[in-house]
Chain A
């Protein structure tokens, strides 16, 4: 069965500093990997995805994520954080051939002015 782990409930970063939100996954086959963001009282918004190819994928709002097969990780990164990046971030995985996406528990990102 596929699963996703986000080891940090909360991450605090000063504005202008680089940020990393961690994610590890477990699937039986090859994964599709996703990051979503949720702002207060809103639904989830798609940020980026890894399907195949280049291990570094770029997404919306300057975010990027690096797929590491040996470490089964897909960490979300941004070179310079903005206060407006403060939100709840979800990592998600889908096994190829499966229609369902499994979400992690979420990491709350606080960007401090």
Chain B
């Protein structure tokens, strides 16, 4: 089925460890996004990529890096995980010209201990 695929679905890290969250979409969308969801905070934008080869910071970029590897893939890296990064992470994609809203992945639940 067409959509946004995120891996892994669950992850536990120790403080200071690094990891990369993967996201891929097969809808030929130009724009891709990473959000984090925390109780009472809604969804907050971490980074986004309006097109292949470009990335921009969102509301809460500190502690994260991203790579837009190609049009399909947009990865999020935590270089040195902290307990404050315990969250559910969602990747999304959209087509700017379509104004059709976003298509979301099913999320990655990350716990940093």
Instruction: Count residues of B near A (Cβ-Cβ below 8 Å).
Output: 26
Q: Are B99 and A32 in contact (CB under 8 A)?
A: yes
If A100-B58, A103-B43, A104-B42 touch, whether A43 touches B31 (CB-CB below 8 Å) is no
* The one of A34, A44, A106 that contacts B90, using a Cβ cutoff of 8 Å: A44
* The one of B35, B43, B45, B101 that contacts A49, using a Cβ cutoff of 8 Å: B101
- Asked if A45 CB lies within 8 Å of chain B CBs, one says yes
* The one of A9, A101, A105 that contacts B102, using a Cβ cutoff of 8 Å: A101
Q: Are B90 and A43 in contact (CB under 8 A)?
A: yes
- Asked if A99 CB lies within 8 Å of chain B CBs, one says yes
Q: How far is the CB of A29 from chain B (nearest CB, A)?
A: 14
When chains A and B are docked, how far (Å) is the Cα of A106 from the Cα of B45? 15
Instruction: Count residues of A near B (Cβ-Cβ below 8 Å).
Output: 23
Residues of B with C-beta under 8 A to A104: 42
If A99-B31, A99-B50, A99-B96 touch, whether A46 touches B101 (CB-CB below 8 Å) is yes
Q: Are A46 and B102 in contact (CB under 8 A)?
A: yes
If A43-B90, A44-B90, A99-B48 touch, whether A105 touches B99 (CB-CB below 8 Å) is no
Scoring B residues 87 to 113 as 1 if CB is less than 8 Å from chain A, else 0, what string do you get? 000101010100111111111000000
Residues of A with C-beta under 8 A to B33: 100
Given contacts A90-B43, A100-B58, 13 further A-B contacts (CB under 8 A): A9-B40, A43-B4, A43-B104, A43-B107, A44-B43, A44-B92, A49-B99, A94-B99, A101-B102, A103-B42, A103-B43, A103-B44, A105-B41
Show 21 A/B contacts (Cβ-Cβ < 8 Å), sorted by A.
A34-B101, A41-B107, A43-B104, A43-B107, A44-B43, A46-B100, A46-B101, A49-B101, A51-B99, A92-B101, A94-B99, A100-B33, A100-B45, A100-B48, A100-B58, A101-B94, A101-B102, A102-B45, A103-B44, A105-B41, A106-B42
By a beta-carbon cutoff of 8 Å, the part of chain A in contact with chain B is 9, 32, 34, 36, 41-46, 49, 51, 90, 92, 94, 99-106
